[in-house]
Structure 1
Amino acid sequence: MDITLVERESKGFAMAKEDNKRVGLMTYSIAGEDHIIIDHTEVDPEFKGQNIGKQLLYKIVEMTREKNIKITPLCPFANAMFKKLTEIQDVLKNK
């Protein structure tokens, strides 16, 4: 599984690919120099249950830690993951 991060102007995303096929996507909006908003997560139904959404989230969390950026998770999936996974809550905007 290959996960890449891409940013363009005020938007960004993490994309998971396997065998050159997109299997997952998590998008975010750049809300300032030190803040992003995760707004959408999708995983190919074929790949449900393989923790792809979680891997996408961890990739974005890793990037925000490196850049000292905080996250607001508006996406229901990302929000649920932040509530469940205490080890990533340090990057939440209003923790």
Structure 2
Amino acid sequence: MSSSTPSSSSPLAFSDNEALHRFEAHRDGQLAGYAEYNVHPDALMFTHTEVLPAFEGQGVGSGLARHVLGEARARGMSVIPVCQFIAGYIRKHPEYLDLVSPASRRAFQL
């Protein structure tokens, strides 16, 4: 592995970049991925999730999804999963389904 290739064994660090309306995942000080959101009165609407090419296949997307859903839960907010990645993650991990309102579950086929 070259020194410029990020190590998939390094832990991810997460932050909420409120100015850009996105949660970010960093590995070894480098931006690895992000989940963009809009804030609604009682909900976070996730609109887009992206993992940067150098970090693909290293679990960044799943780690980011776990983090943002945990953040929504900790803040007492529901989730509107417009982003297909977040919706797909919830389908695979039904323990997060309670974060999505019944109307949103129907709309996003959860």
TM-score normalised per structure 1: 0.85
Deviation at 1:92, TM superposition (A): 1.1
Q: Does 2:55 match 1:47?
A: yes
Deviation at 1:54, TM superposition (A): 1.4
Indicate the structure (1 or 2) with the bigger Cα radius of gyration.
2
Alignment of 1:1-95 (within 5 A): 1-8=12-19, 12-32=21-41, 34-94=42-102, 95=105
> Runs of at least 4 residues of structure 1 off by over 4 A?
none
Deviation at 1:36, TM superposition (A): 1.3
Q: State the Cα deviation string for residues 48-78 of structure 1 (Å, max 9, x = none).
A: 1222111111111111111210001011111
Q: State the Cα deviation string for residues 22-61 of structure 1 (Å, max 9, x = none).
A: 11011110122x1111000010122112221111111111
- Identical amino acids, percent of aligned pairs: 25
Larger strand proportion, structure 1 or 2? 1
Provide the C-alpha distance between the structure 2 equivalents of 1:6 and 1:93, rounded to a whole number of angstroms: 25
Structure 1, unmatched stretches of 5+, are none
Count of aligned pairs:
92
Provide the C-alpha distance between the structure 1 equivalents of 2:50 and 2:24, rounded to a whole number of angstroms: 10
Task: Work out which structure has the larger RCO, using CA pairs closer than 8 Å and 6 or more positions apart in sequence.
Answer: 1
Structure 2, unmatched stretches of 5+, are 1-11, 106-110
